[in-house]
Structure 1
Amino acid sequence: MVPPFSLVKYDNPVLVSRVDSGKAVSTGAPNSPAKGGVAALPGTPGAKKLPPVTDKGRVKTASQTEEILTSILPSREWEENNQLWVQKVSSTPATRLDVAILQEQLDQALQKRQAKETGICSIRRDLYNQTFDELIRQVAISCQERGLLLLRVRNEIRMTLAAYQTLYESSVAFGMRKALYSEQAKVDQSQKIVQLEAEKVTMEHTIAELRAKCEGIEKREMERRAMDERKHSEEIAFLKKTNLQLKTQLEGILSPQKK
Structure 2
Amino acid sequence: MTERLIPAVSTLVKYGNPFLVVNRVIDQPSTSEAEDISKKVPLTADERRVTEEILNTILPPKEWEEDGQLWRQQVSTTPATRLDVINLQEQLDMRLQQRQARETGICPVRRELYTQCFDELIREVTINCAERGLLLLRVRDEMRMTIEAYQALYCSSVAFGMRKALQAEQGKSDLHQKVEMLKDEKQDLEHQIIELKQRAEQADRRAAETRLAEERKHTEEITFLKKTNQQLKTQLEGIIAPKK
Q: TM-score range by the shorter chain?
A: 0.7 to 0.9
Match of 1:217 among 196, 199, 203: 203
1:213 and 1:87 map into 2 onto residues whose CA distance is 99
The CA RMSD over aligned residues, in Å, is 2.5
Once the two structures are superposed, what CA deviation does each residue of 1:41-92 show, in whole Å capped at 9, x if it has no partner? xxxxxxxxxxxxx996723532211111111011112233444322222222
Q: 2:97 aligns with which of 89, 111, 119?
A: 111
* Aligned-partner SS, 1:94: coil
Residues 170-212 of structure 1 show CA distances to partners (whole Å, capped at 9, x for unaligned) of: 2333333333333333333333222222222221111111101
Matched, 1:168 2:173: no
Native 8 Å contact 1:15 1:27 kept in 2: no
Amino acid in the other structure paired with 1:227: A
Give the TM-score, by structure 1 length. 0.77
Following superposition of structure 1 onto structure 2, how do residues 1-259 of structure 1 map, counting pairs within 5 Å?
4-16=9-21, 26=22, 58-59=43-44, 60-256=46-242
- Return 5+ residue gaps in structure 1 as ranges: 17-25, 29-53
Shift of 1:110: 1.4
Bigger fraction of residues in helix? 2
In the superposition, the TM-score normalised over structure 2's length comes to: 0.81
C-alpha separation in 1, matches of 2:102 and 2:237: 130
* Distance in 2, Cα, partners of 1:3 & 1:100: 21
- C-alpha displacement at 1:27, in angstroms? 6.5
Gaps of 5+ in 2: 1-6, 25-38
Q: Measure, in 1, the Cα distance between the counterparts of 2:181 and 2:8.
A: 63
Distance 2:67 2:223 in 1: 132
Relative to structure 1, the CA distance from residue 57 to residue 157 in structure 2 (aligned partners, 3 Å threshold; closer, same or farther) is closer
Q: Which amino acid aligns with 2:225?
A: L
